[in-house]
Amino acid sequence: MYMKILDVNDMKTVNEFNNLIKTNDCMVLYYMTNCMFCIALEPIWEQFEKEMKNNKENRVFIAKVNSNYLQNINSDKDILGFPTILYLEKGGRKKREFNKKRELNELINFFNEIRENNNLQNGGRKISKRKSLKGKSLKRKSLKRKSLKKRKSLKRRKSLKRNTKNKK
């Protein structure tokens, strides 16, 4: 697929978005027209669109979705606030959310990082890395739980010591 840029702001473009998302990956900006943060992001997003349009290697389409049409689109809508930038896989499933500074170079790096990960997955290498990353995050969580338990037990001991001193 060629690079496609779509502004979803009427029912015609909603239908086009729904058709494209079935078979293509997509980077989506969900915005609200009167949101000051969305207005501030608009020129950066337009620069991002121009940069991506000039890059012939991209096989992903880019879309801006107006908040008035959220209920009509067929994709994951895990949106807690505006603006929200998501990378959606084929079928409209959320793959990743952009949580960095809203700057052009950060958007491009985010997009390239996902594209590189997709290329690695096609080669079969990324899957094993994911498993190891999941294991590491589980280890971190269990270490946090252990340290929390230790802190709680120390608090209990201190309170028991205070109680015994007060009784004497």
Residue 103 belongs to what H/E stretch? none
At 131 the pLDDT is 45
Whether cis (ω within 30° of 0) applies to the bond prior to 83 is: yes
**Token pair belonging to 114:** 């996902």
For 131, phi and psi rounded to 5 degrees? -60, -45
pLDDT tens, position by position, for the chain (168 residues)? 457 788 888 888 889 988 888 888 888 999 999 999 999 999 999 998 888 877 666 667 889 999 888 888 888 777 888 999 998 888 887 888 888 888 888 998 888 888 777 665 555 444 444 444 445 555 555 666 667 767 777 777 777 777 776 766
Locus of tokens 């079969």: 124
pTM of full prediction above 0.85? no
The residues, any chain, with a CB within 8 Å of residue 40's CB and separated by 6 or more, are 102
CB-CB neighbours of 153 under 10 Å? 10
